[in-house]
Structure 1
Amino acid sequence: MLHPSYTDLMKVVNKDVEEGDSKVVNSRYSIVMATSKRARQLIAGELPLVPAKDGQKPLSIAIEELNEGELKILPEDTDEE
Structure 2
Amino acid sequence: MLHPSYTDLMKVVNKDVEEGDTKIVNSRYSIVMATSKRARQLIAGDLPLVDAKDGEKPLSIAIDELNQGKLKILAENAEEEE
Normalised to the residue count of structure 1, the TM-score between the two structures is: 0.97
Query: Within 2, Cα distance between the matches of 1:22 and 1:51?
Result: 32
Instruction: Give the paired residue count.
Output: 81
Moved over 3 A (4+): none
1:14 matches 2:20: no
Structure 1 gaps, min length 5 = none
Query: Within 1, Cα distance between the matches of 2:71 and 2:52?
Result: 14
Query: Within 2, Cα distance between the matches of 1:79 and 1:66?
Result: 18
1:77 matches 2:77: yes
CA offset digits 1:9-62 (Å, max 9, x no partner) = 000000000011000000000000000000000000000000000000000000
Compare the two structures and name the one with the higher helix fraction: 2
Identical aligned pairs, as a percentage? Answer: 85
Aligned residue number for residue 35 of structure 1: 35
Give the match's secondary structure for 2:17: coil
Structure 2 gaps, min length 5 = none
Normalised to the residue count of structure 2, the TM-score between the two structures is: 0.96
- Alpha-carbon RMSD across the aligned residues, in angstroms, is 1.0
